[in-house]
Amino acid sequence: MSYLKRAWAETHLDRIKTNVENFRKFLNPKTELLCVVKANCYGNGDDAIVPYLEKNLNVNWFAVSNIEEAKHLRDIGIKGEILILGYTPPEYAKELVKYDIIQTVTEESHALELSKFCPIGNRIRIHCALDTGMTRIGVCENTTKKTCDAVERISNLKGLELEGIFTHLAVADSDNNDDVNYTRKQIEKITAAAEELKKRLVVLNQIHFLNSAGGIYHSTDKSTLARLGIIMYGLKPNSSLKVPFKLEPVLDFKACVSMVKEVDKDVFISYGRTYKTESPAKIATITVGYADGYPRYLSNKGEVLINGKRARIVGRVCMDQIMCDVTGIDVKTGDVATLIGADGDEVITADDIADIGSTIGYEVICNISRRVPRVIYENGKQIDVLKY
């Protein structure tokens, strides 16, 4: 299980286990986990993580973004329920049936088209999205009655099997009073719709609205599933809001030192001459760049860890390389630079990197490119390498 030790990511399955177990403690016993594994498990490696979740952690529900991701899970042997969270063109109805995938209905017109394309004698399993305030996808009506009218019509369409409804909480990761009230109103809207549909004898196996933040800040037995996403990978839904248990970041990102050189004062480094040494310095070149998903906004701002010490990035991040000031650090060619992760007493998280770029940790780990191999570890032992 060798790999090119240029730039690589390390995914730690035991850390996933810790995060999942801690999250489960906040859920009502009636609420089941639905693990969000879209985008290659947020860049962590779905080929390793999803089978581990199913076989080792007894997870039976998985959420993906699109039909290609869903088919891939079936191809690697996943037996559990797979829900596509977004739109699938109706021409793929046959594949939804073939692979036993649950499709989200994004609006009533989408349901009508899926019904038309469903193979004769089959039924497409669906969950109907309700727009309760995210304004992204879902049945969008201004009253509970009108919402339920639309869902009821969808439930009666030929070739469709309505199994659940769901919505997405827009600001569950905020403790601002207005946002907390907004979340409460979203929950009230979907639970009111569920109660009304029950009165109309529309059978719903699942009503779900809890996401990672919802599960820890707004847990309730009224959500039959909790969609565990970013917390499973060890990052905060909101970097400024405390999570009530210690998160274990699942992914470490590393690269090699390829050259160490001494330079004089007033020497320019990298493209654009954006950095000039103020005194003689020792500069290390490291084999990672924005083509690997290492953000260019870290130019002259970010840091890496080398032999337990912090080293500042100097000059612009290049496509395949960065330069760091390692003055005063014992470093040589071949040493490992930690871009995300711990080295000694020092730690850099994806959230730390995100804060520099005014973005979120989700984006940082999702953007690690597919040319970066994912090296899979369990309890400190390397067990696999995923190469794309």
> Do residues 343 and 308 touch, judged by C-beta distance below 8 A?
yes
Residue whose tokens read 């760091």: 324
- Residue 233: phi and psi, rounded to 5, are -90, 5
What are the structure tokens assigned to 304, written together?
């890496």
Residues 361 and 89: their CA atoms lie apart, in Å, by 30
φ/ψ bin of 327: left (φ > 0), alpha (ψ from -120 to 50), beta (otherwise): beta
Q: How many CB atoms lie within 10 A of CB 189?
A: 18
Q: Is 38 a catalytic site residue?
A: yes
End-to-end CA distance of the chain: 14
Q: Which listed residue (17, 38, 189, 254) is catalytic?
A: 38
Residues 232 and 212: their CA atoms lie apart, in Å, by 8
Residues 251 and 385: their CA atoms lie apart, in Å, by 14
β-pair type (275-276, 268-269):
antiparallel
Residues 91 and 107: their CA atoms lie apart, in Å, by 16
Q: Which listed residue (55, 271, 276, 387) is catalytic?
A: 271
Q: 135 vs 141, 142, 190, 247, CA distance in Å?
A: 11, 12, 14, 30
Q: Which residues are catalytic?
A: 38, 271
